[in-house]
Structure 1
Amino acid sequence: MFSQGQLIFGACFFAVFVIIMIFAYRKDLALHKVFYKGNYKVLLVFLLFIATLFAIKIFFKR
């Protein structure tokens, strides 16, 4: 499906992208602590909502 060169390029691109994102996040970490306090609550509510949708789907499937 993909050539060996494409797979190597994809792996290298992914590795470099992740490293750059880690450096960018660390650079902005102080700002994140100030402006995004309580963000985990939004994430928990979102995950709970998704879990509820799956539960409803399983419940009505039976």
Structure 2
Amino acid sequence: MFTDGQYIFAGFFVVLFIAIMIFSYRKDLKLHKKYYRGSLFILAGFLLFVAILFLIKTYLH
């Protein structure tokens, strides 16, 4: 379905994309610590909310 060249391109693209994302995150780490201090609690609350909705759906179904 795909040629070898397309697989090689996809592999290089994924590796390079992840490397650039890691480099960008590390470069802005001080800003992330300063401005996004409580974001993990918001993420945990959102995941808990989705889990509760899933449980309610499962229970009522």
Rate the CA distance shift 1:54–1:12 in 2: closer, same or farther, 3 A. Answer: same
Pairs aligned (count)? 61
- Whole-Å Cα distance in 2 between the matches of residues 57 and 2 of structure 1? 40
Q: CA RMSD in A?
A: 1.2
- Structure 1 stretches lacking a partner, 5+ long: none
Letter in 2 for 1:15: V
1:1-62 aligned at under 5 Å gives the runs 1-61=1-61
> What TM-score do the two structures reach when normalised by structure 2?
0.85
Letter in 1 for 2:29: L
- Whole-Å Cα distance in 2 between the matches of residues 8 and 58 of structure 1? 43
- Whole-Å Cα distance in 1 between the matches of residues 47 and 10 of structure 2? 30
> What TM-score do the two structures reach when normalised by structure 1?
0.84
- Structure 2 stretches lacking a partner, 5+ long: none
